[in-house]
Structure 1
C-alpha cells in the first residue's frame, strides 16, 4: 500500500573563507569523507528523536535512525524497519519487522523497541513535540518479537506518514540503550539502526558521523560524513565555493540563478512542502482583535515578498497549505490580497486605532527571514499608519518566546510532509504542537476531526481545503508564500536525490565523492 505521488544577493566569496577555516571548515585531505553543511542553523539541542524540534536536528537524526516506514524517491511510502505492513481494517495496522535489523550496538530491533519508542512519544512526561501525531493510537500490541499491531480509536488517515523516517519523531530507539545510557547521554550519542552513528559532537559546530558497524541495509558509500553547522546561508555558500564543504542544505535565494550557471556546481531544486507565515498571538493586544488581524493581512503585498525575499524562487500561498500539497483554484482569497482600501475599512471596525496598533514582530537570523519581516512591517506601517517594529534574535530565543506565548507576532514557517493535518493540525489545531497563536475555533476543529477520519483522498482534500479557508476568516496567522527547496553540491558529489520535504541526512548513505 502506498500514498499517491505528489503533484506539484550576489555571491559571497573569498573574504569570509578565512574565518570559516578558523572554525574548522578546512579542505579535507580524506576524499572519502563527505562534508555536509547545515546552513542557516547554529545549534543542535538533541539527537533524541522524541525530543527533537529543530530541522537541523532532524537532518542528523535521519542518518542515525530508522522508522517503521520511509518515503522513496517517488514520495511513496514503503517499509523501512518494517519488511511489510498490512491494513488489517480501518483502525488497525500490522507491521512485520526485518529480521536482519540491528541497532548500532548489535542488538536486534524488536517489536518491544517499537512499542517502547511510540509509547514514549505518547507519554506526556516525555514532552515530545510530536505527541499530537500519535494521539489517535489506542493500543500497541506485540504479537511476536518481530510483529507489532497498532490500533487507533477511529480511522486515522495521517498515521502512515507519521510513522516515516522524516520530521516525525517516530524513529525507533533501543529501549535497552536508552535505559543504560540515560536520557541525557543518549541524546548526545544515540543508539539507532541507521547507516551512521555519532562519532563526535562539537556543540554549535559539527557532528561527525561514521558508518555504523551494525545497521539496517548495505554499507554507506562514504565511511564518514562531517555535518557542519554554519549560521548563515551565505557563509555556507562561501564554504562550498572555497571547497571547504561538499554539500549545503540550502542556498540564498538571490544566488540560485548564478549558481545554476556554474559548471563546477550542482543545484538541486524543487517546489517545497513548506509554508511561511507570520504567527500572531491572538491572546495579546493588538492581535486579540480579529479586525486588526484581517486588516493588516490586506496591508502587505505577498507578490512583493516572493520577488524581494525569494527572488522568484517560490510562490504566494492562499492559505497555510503549500501548493505542492493542495492546489487551490481561482484567485487568492480577499483577505490575503493586497488591498489598502479594504484594509483601512477593516481596521476602522477594530477597537484599536491605527496609532495604537503597536507590536513587535520577531525574526530570527539576518538572512531572508529578516527581510521577510522587515518588508511586511514597512508595508503595513506605510499603508495603515500602524507602529509595528522588527526585533531579531537567534533561533532558540525566538522559538522559546513562541512556545511560552511571550510574543506578539513572529515570522515563522513549517515544513511538514505529505499530509494536510501536518500543517493545519500542527499549526492551528487545539492540540497542535505549533499552535503558538492560541487559536481555537470549534468549527475548524470539527473539520480537522472529519479530515483525520476520512480515508477517501479526494474527500479529505476537500475537507482540508474548507478548513484552510475557514481559518482565514479568523486570520491567526498571515499566510505568505511557499519557497523552493534547494541543495547545492560540488560536481564531485554523486548520489543525492532532492525530495520536496528538504531531505538531507536520509541521503548520506548514498553519497560519494568522485575523483
Structure 2
C-alpha cells in the first residue's frame, strides 16, 4: 500500500543526488510503488463480498481495537493454509519489497536484527553490536546457527549477503539503505564491521528488515541468477525452510527442526500459502474454511468477517498513512494555502466510514504516532502542540482558497478502478476541490499505468493528485520524511524546502535520540504546514484467523518477523 508498495520509503536522493545511481534507486521505488497499487487492488473489491452490501457495511462501521497478541496456541498443528493476494515474482530477498514475498520470507530468512510486533528492535543473527565511532558498526555474529541445509552460519555468509546490496549487478531494491556504506568486512571469526562514509542514524535500524537479511554464501554462489525462483528456493536460518513452489497455485514451507531459537520454534509442521487474487474468493475461502487465515482483509468485508463463526478478525499495529500526493506544484496546487484549503474541505471521517469500513483514524501527519516511540516526552508533547490541524470545514476552506486566488482552475485527479476504497477517496477529493472553487477532472488509469505514476516522471505530467498508502519498514519518521527531500526519487511533485532538507539531514546524522527526534519533529512541522502530500487517515493491519488456529501477533512487522512460527492449535 504505498508507493513502493505502500511500503517503506527508501531514502533516495538528497540535494547532492548521485545520478549515476538513479537506476538502482529507481528500482527500489518501482517495487514500493507497485506494492502500493497492487496491495490496494488486492485489498478491496467494488462489489460486496458474499452478498453483503457495501453501503450496509458502511452503516455498520466496525468498532475495532488494536490487538497486541491473539490467544496463545495450546499445541502444535500438522499444517495450516494461508491466503496471499498475489504470487511473488521471486523470493530473493534482494528483490522482495512487497507484501506477498515478504510475508513468506519473514518465516524463512532472518536478518542481523529483528523488528518485533511491538515495533521495537532486538538482536537477531547478530547476538550483539556496537557503534564505536559515528561511521562504524560492529556486529558479533550469533554462534551455533544452522542454515536449512545443515551448514553453520559464519561471518563470511553475513559479508556476502549484505554486500549484494552494494553490487550494481544485483540492483537490489534495498540499495538505497546502503548508500552511505563504504565497506563491509569480516574483522573476526564471527565479527563483521560496516564502515560508513558519514553518520547515518537509520542504517542499523534497517538491518532488522530486508536490508539485513542473511543467506548462505555458498547457496548464493551456486544458485546465481536462479536464486529465489520456484525451482531453487532459498537456504536461510528461519523457523521454516523452503519446501516447494507450484507456480500459479501455492508455496509450501516446512518446519526446520534445527532452528536455533527455541522461543520461536514453529508450532506447525507445514504452512501452505495459496495465491488468491480475487478478494471475494479470499473472503469466501475464510468463511468456508478452505484457508485458515490471511493478512490484508478486504475492508468491505470487515463487518461480515467480524461476526462470522468461521473465525475471528483482528486489527494490529501499522505504520501506514493514506495520502493524496501533490504531483504538480506548478499548477493551482503550487500554493500551499490552496493545498491547506483542499485538505480542510475533504471529509476524511466520511472516507474512513465509507471507504475503510469505519476502521481508521483521520491524520494530519504523514507518519503514524507509534513511530515516535523513542522520542523524549518533551518532544512528543511539542508534536501535539506544533502539528498544524485541518478539521473538516468547507466554508472556511472555500474562503481560504478564494483569498489564495482560486477561481475555477482545473485540477486533474488520477485514479484507477482498483477497489471501492480508492473510488470513494477519489470522489471525496473531487467533491472537496469543487467545494473550494476548483474544477476537478478525474482521469481513470489502468492498474499498470497507475503504477507508473510512482516510477516515471513523464507519466505524472498533467496529473495534479494521486493516491498512495505509505508505510515505513522501521520505527522512525525519518523513513518517510527522507522520501520528500529535494531530489528524492519518491518526491513525486519535486517539492523543495531548504529548511525541511536541513531538518532531514540533521536527523540522518544524529544518533542522539533527543536530537534525532527534534530534527524529525521540525521536518514534520514543515511538511504538515506545506503539505507536499495531503495526509488522509491511518489504518491498522488486518488479519483473519479461522477457528482451528491462533497465536499470531497482528502487526506490520509481519513483513520481517516470523509470525507463522507462533501459530498453532486453538484450545
Query: Fold-level match, TM-score > 0.5?
Result: yes
Distance 2:331 2:260 in 1: 52
Task: Work out which of the residue numbers 184, 190, 198 in structure 1 matches 2:234.
Answer: 190
Paired residue secondary structure (2:368): coil
Judging changes above 3 Å, is the alpha-carbon distance between structure 1 residues 443 and 132 closer, same or farther for their aligned structure 2 residues?
farther
Q: Which runs of 5+ in 1 are unaligned?
A: 1-8, 16-29
2:506 is aligned to: 450
Paired residue secondary structure (2:481): helix
Q: CA deviation at 1:420?
A: 1.4
2:516 is aligned to: 460
Distance 2:443 2:218 in 1: 47
2:551 is aligned to: 495
Superposed, 1:477-492 pairs within 5 Å as 477-492=533-548
Task: Work out which of the residue numbers 427, 448, 452 in structure 2 matches 1:374.
Answer: 427
Task: Work out which of the residue numbers 141, 144, 147 in structure 2 matches 1:100.
Answer: 144
Contact 1:42–1:204 under 8 Å retained in 2 = no
Q: Is 1:278 paired with 2:315?
A: no
Q: CA deviation at 1:469?
A: 2.0
Q: CA deviation at 1:81?
A: 1.0
2:418 is aligned to: 365
Paired residue secondary structure (1:460): helix
1:384 is aligned to: 437
Contact 1:94–1:150 under 8 Å retained in 2 = yes
Distance 1:185 1:284 in 2: 45
Q: CA deviation at 1:65?
A: 0.8
2:165 is aligned to: 121
Paired residue secondary structure (1:143): strand
* Cα-to-partner distance string for 1:410-464 (whole Å, 9 max, x where unaligned): 2111221311111212x31346564334333332221111112222323322321
Judging changes above 3 Å, is the alpha-carbon distance between structure 1 residues 292 and 136 closer, same or farther for their aligned structure 2 residues?
same
Judging changes above 3 Å, is the alpha-carbon distance between structure 1 residues 111 and 364 closer, same or farther for their aligned structure 2 residues?
farther
Distance 1:367 1:181 in 2: 42
2:377 is aligned to: none
Contact 1:69–1:78 under 8 Å retained in 2 = yes
Q: Is 1:57 paired with 2:112?
A: no
Between Structure 1 and Structure 2, the one with more helix by share is: 2
Task: Work out which of the residue numbers 248, 259, 270 in structure 2 matches 1:224.
Answer: 270
2:215 is aligned to: 173
Contact 2:407–2:437 under 8 Å retained in 1 = no
Calculate the TM-score normalised by the size of structure 2: 0.76
Judging changes above 3 Å, is the alpha-carbon distance between structure 1 residues 476 and 502 closer, same or farther for their aligned structure 2 residues?
farther
Distance 1:92 1:501 in 2: 27
Paired residue secondary structure (1:126): coil
2:41 is aligned to: none
Distance 2:393 2:168 in 1: 43
Relative contact order, higher structure (CA 8 A, sep 6+):
2
2:451 is aligned to: 399
Higher mean displacement: 484-493 or 433-442: 433-442
1:48 is aligned to: 92
- CA root-mean-square deviation: 3.2
Q: Is 1:329 paired with 2:375?
A: no
Calculate the TM-score normalised by the size of structure 1: 0.83
* Cα-to-partner distance string for 1:37-90 (whole Å, 9 max, x where unaligned): 13xx33423212222232222111212210001034544322211122233344
Superposed, 1:497-512 pairs within 5 Å as 497-501=553-557, 503=559, 506-512=562-568
* Cα-to-partner distance string for 1:5-47 (whole Å, 9 max, x where unaligned): xxxx9973489xxxxxxxxxxxxxx972211113xx3342321
Contact 1:316–1:482 under 8 Å retained in 2 = yes
Distance 1:107 1:400 in 2: 43
Paired residue secondary structure (2:110): coil
Higher mean displacement: 225-234 or 286-295: 286-295
* Cα-to-partner distance string for 1:333-360 (whole Å, 9 max, x where unaligned): 256754444346436646x853432x14
Task: Work out which of the residue numbers 429, 439, 448 in structure 1 matches 2:495.
Answer: 439
Contact 2:136–2:194 under 8 Å retained in 1 = yes
Distance 2:550 2:344 in 1: 46
Q: CA deviation at 1:163?
A: 0.5
Distance 1:49 1:307 in 2: 37
2:401 is aligned to: 346
Q: CA deviation at 1:99?
A: 2.1
Contact 1:306–1:313 under 8 Å retained in 2 = yes
Q: CA deviation at 1:242?
A: 0.8
Q: Which runs of 5+ in 2 are unaligned?
A: 1-45, 53-75, 373-379
